[in-house]
Amino acid sequence: MKVFTMQDLDDFAKSDLDKLEKLADNFKWIHKLDYDLKQKYDKRYVAIKNRKILDKDTSLDRLIKRLDIRNYDESIAIEYIYN
C-alpha cells in the first residue's frame, strides 16, 4: 500500500490546476479567433492544444479515436465550430 504525503497531494493538486489553466487558455484562444475559425472550420469539431489546432473532423467520435483521448493526460480543448 502506497502512503501519500502532503507534498504528494500538493503536487497532484498543482498538476491538475496547471492542466485546467492550460485548458481554459485554449478555450479563450478559440473564442478570441472565433471569426477566423468559423470561416475555416464551419461544422467541424476542432481539437486545440497549446493554442495550436491538432486535428478537426465532422465526427466527434472519429476525432477522439484519432487523438486517443481516453489515455491522454494533456489539456486538449475540443469545440464544435459553427457559423
pLDDT exceeds 90 at position 47: yes
Average pLDDT along the chain: 87
pTM of the model: 0.77
Three cell numbers, residue 57:
473532423
CA distance from start to end of the chain: 53
pLDDT attached to residue 10: 74
Residue type, 12: F
pLDDT in tens, 12-38: 677 888 888 999 999 999 999 999 999
Q: Other C-beta atoms within 10 Å of 53: how many?
A: 14
Decide if pLDDT at 74 tops 80.
no
Higher per-residue pLDDT: 60 or 8: 60
Q: What is the mean pLDDT of residues 51-66?
A: 95
